[in-house]
């Protein structure tokens, strides 16, 4: 296993999870209207989960002898804060992170059961998030 490539992939994951903390916190502050309470609760739960995921990635980095990044991946302020826009941006963020976890799986598959299983578990979580957001964006018939 190429530890340097794995640490780089984990740092990308860490940076994106930290961006998720900021992104979901911001979104939770920008929701208005009669659906506000359940939506901000969901968004804040996503922010908390992103922080947990960032901590997990950081622990794996230090276990491998690497140094966790202090960077946060780019955050684009679109100034679009309708619930639909927020969900579409969330979907984009989750899809991008899913790609990062797939890369980690590719780098660790057959080389580290521990990291391979971590990557698989995170892929499952990201796919679950994506399916939930897609359902939230689906229009009732």
Residue 87 Cα distances to 55, 64, 112, angstroms: 24, 35, 35
pLDDT score at 28: 94
Q: List the chain residues with pLDDT less than 50.
A: none
The whole domain housing 67 covers 3-137
pLDDT tens, 49-62? 999 999 999 999 99
pTM: 0.93
Tokens of 78: 């679109």
pLDDT score at 126: 96
Which own/partner pairs from 32-36 qualify as long-range (CB within 8 Å, at least 24 positions apart)? 32/81, 33/83, 35/83
**What total number of domains does the chain contain?**
1
Task: Check which CATH number belongs to the domain holding 86 and give it.
Answer: 1.20.1260.10
């Amino acid at each position: 296993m190429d530890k340097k490539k794995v640490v780089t992939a984990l740092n990308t994951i860490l940076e994106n999870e930290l961006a998720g903390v900021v992104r979901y916190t911001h979104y939770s502050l920008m929701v208005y209207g009669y659906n506000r309470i359940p939506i901000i609760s969901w968004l804040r739960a996503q922010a908390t989960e992103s922080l947990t995921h960032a901590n997990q990635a950081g622990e794996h980095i230090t276990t491998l002898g690497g140094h966790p990044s202090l960077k946060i991946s780019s955050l684009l302020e679109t100034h679009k804060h309708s619930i639909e826009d927020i969900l579409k941006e969330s979907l984009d963020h989750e899809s991008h992170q899913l790609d990062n976890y797939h890369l980690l799986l590719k780098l660790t598959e057959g080389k580290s059961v521990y990291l391979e299983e971590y990557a698989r578990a995170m892929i499952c979580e990201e796919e679950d998030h994506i399916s939930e957001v897609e359902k939230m964006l689906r229009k009732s018939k």
